[in-house]
């Protein structure tokens, strides 16, 4: 079994109300990642994903781009403890 890694991102900019969470979910599922994304009260979007290091690296690049209508102004990334998730969900 491959070793799983987890990361958490906080994305700021115009990222709520523009389909960012759906973009994050679709991209994660395409890369075989599991986890979640949710809007935060301060206008940012939180993304948590578990998967291979290579998939997470590719995913990080996509999160910096976002969907067409988003304006990503910054992304902070941190390592996180791997949690069990059966899929990638939009929560909250």
- Clarify whether 12 is annotated catalytic: no
CA gap 65, 83 in Å, rounded: 26
Q: How far is CA 66 from CA 4, 19, 30, in A?
A: 24, 9, 15
Q: Give me the catalytic one of 8, 34, 39, 68.
A: 39
Q: Give me the catalytic one of 21, 38, 68, 84.
A: 21
Strands across the sheet containing 45-51: 71-80, 5-14, 45-51, 34-39, 88-90
Beta bridge partners, 90, equal 37
Instruction: List, by residue number, the catalytic residues.
Output: 21, 39
């Amino acid at each position: 079994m491959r070793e799983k890694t987890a990361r958490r991102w906080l994305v700021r900019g115009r990222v709520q109300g523009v389909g960012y969470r759906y973009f994050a979910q679709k991209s994660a599922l395409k890369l075989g990642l599991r986890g979640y994304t949710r809007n935060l009260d301060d206008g940012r979007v939180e993304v948590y994903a578990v998967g291979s290091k290579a998939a997470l690296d590719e995913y990080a690049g996509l999160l910096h781009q976002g969907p067409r209508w988003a304006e990503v102004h910054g992304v902070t990334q941190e390592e996180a403890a791997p949690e069990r998730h059966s899929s990638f969900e939009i929560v909250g």
